[in-house]
């Protein structure tokens, strides 16, 4: 099963992708995570991407398409993937269509998480992750069970993304509406768009996505 989680920054794509990946045995392909890993590793691509990401702009299509195309060829992706944060432009969507066609794969569903803008800002500025295992949290909506200790790996250090500040979020939202929002029309016309209410609590959103996936499986 191959699927896309579509939605603005902060909609809950990463949060839901992690749960779905574990439940359905899929690999989560987050281009944002891959670019942050490249930046942390100090590669040329990573350094160039970091400057763009810090401004809240999009990394060039050819860069992310290449990253996805190389990653999906790895054996662990054979059983199915969740695209999280990719595609983000019509050019990326069309490149993904070709890529999947060439590899004799097909998209089973495109799930759009719908969340109000005001909520997005609140979610993004409160987001933090475990520095050791990357598990995601929120100051108000998803606190670790024991304060200061990661639920997953018991790590005690947490980080916040440099682009998760109120100023960059506004830029990222504008970029989303200009470049990525048209993809809902693109996938609606292809017949595989499913909208889910992303305003609900994390577990409830997960259940709704689960219902969609059980129907398309
Ligand atoms: P995205 O990957 O779409 O940018 P995330 O999954 O990282 O978004 O979620 C952004 C923040 O909002 C995280 O801190 C996460 O814990 C929190 N969050 C995700 N889904 C919900 C939800 N349904 N209700 C409240 N907070 C949520
Ligand atoms: P995310 O982790 O999905 O919030 O992405 C963080 C940042 O990485 C974005 O603001 C972009 O600068 C960059 N990025 C991630 N995915 C893509 C993509 N598919 N196309 C272009 N830029 C991307």
Q: Can you tell me the distance from the alpha carbon of 92 to that of 102, in angstroms, rounded to the nearest whole number?
A: 15
Which residues, including other chains, have CB under 8 Å from residue 189's CB and lie 6 or more apart? Answer: none
Q: Can you tell me the distance from the alpha carbon of 94 to that of 186, in angstroms, rounded to the nearest whole number?
A: 10
Give residue 158's pLDDT: 98
Which residues partner with 136 through β-bridges? Answer: 129
Q: Can you tell me the distance from the alpha carbon of 217 to that of 213, in angstroms, rounded to the nearest whole number?
A: 6
Of 45, 48, 44, the C-alpha closest to 57 is 48
Instruction: Tell me which residue has tokens 């269509």.
Output: 97
Whole-model pTM: value is 0.97
pLDDT at 216 over 90: no
pLDDT at 22 over 90: yes
Query: Residue 90: pLDDT band by 50, 70, 90 thresholds?
Result: very high
CB 85 within 8 A of CB 32: yes
> What is the DSSP secondary structure assignment for residue 168, as one 8-state letter?
H
How many other CB atoms are found less than 10 A from the CB of residue 130?
21
Residue list, ligand 1 pocket, CB within 6 Å? 7, 9-15, 123, 126-127, 136-138, 141-142, 200-202, 205
- Edge-to-edge strands of the sheet including 136-138? 136-138, 127-130, 158-159
Give residue 166's pLDDT: 85
CA of 32 to the centre of ligand 2 (A): 5
Give residue 217's pLDDT: 80
- 135-170 pLDDT tens trace: 999 999 999 999 999 999 999 999 999 999 988 999
Catalytic residue among 78, 127, 142, 178: 127
Give residue 167's pLDDT: 87
Q: Can you tell me the distance from the alpha carbon of 56 to that of 81, in angstroms, rounded to the nearest whole number?
A: 26
Q: Can you tell me the distance from the alpha carbon of 77 to that of 205, in angstroms, rounded to the nearest whole number?
A: 25
Give residue 24's pLDDT: 94
Averaged over 83-108, what is the pLDDT? 97
Known active-site residue 161: yes
């Amino acid at each position: 099963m191959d699927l896309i989680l579509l939605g603005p920054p902060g909609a809950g794509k990463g949060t839901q992708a992690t749960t779905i990946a574990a439940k359905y045995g899929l690999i989560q392909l987050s281009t944002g995570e891959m670019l942050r890993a490249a930046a942390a590793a100090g590669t040329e691509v990573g350094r160039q991407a970091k400057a763009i990401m810090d401004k809240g702009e999009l990394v060039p299509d050819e860069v992310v398409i290449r990253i996805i195309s190389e990653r999906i060829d790895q054996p662990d992706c054979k059983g199915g993937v969740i695209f999280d944060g990719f595609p983000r432009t019509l050019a990326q969507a069309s490149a993904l269509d070709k890529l999947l066609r060439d590899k004799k794969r097909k998209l089973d569903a495109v799930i759009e998480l719908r969340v109000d803008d005001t909520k997005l800002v609140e979610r993004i500025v409160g987001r933090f992750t475990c520095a050791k295992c990357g598990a995601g949290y929120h100051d108000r909506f998803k606190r670790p069970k024991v304060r200061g200790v990661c639920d997953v790996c018991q790590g005690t250090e947490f980080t916040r993304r440099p682009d998760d500040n109120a100023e960059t979020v506004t830029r990222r939202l504008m970029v989303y509406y200009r470049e990525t929002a048209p993809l809902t029309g693109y996938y609606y016309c292809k017949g595989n768009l499913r909208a889910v209410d992303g305003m609900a609590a994390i577990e409830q959103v997960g259940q709704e996505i689960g219902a969609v996936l059980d129907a398309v499986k």
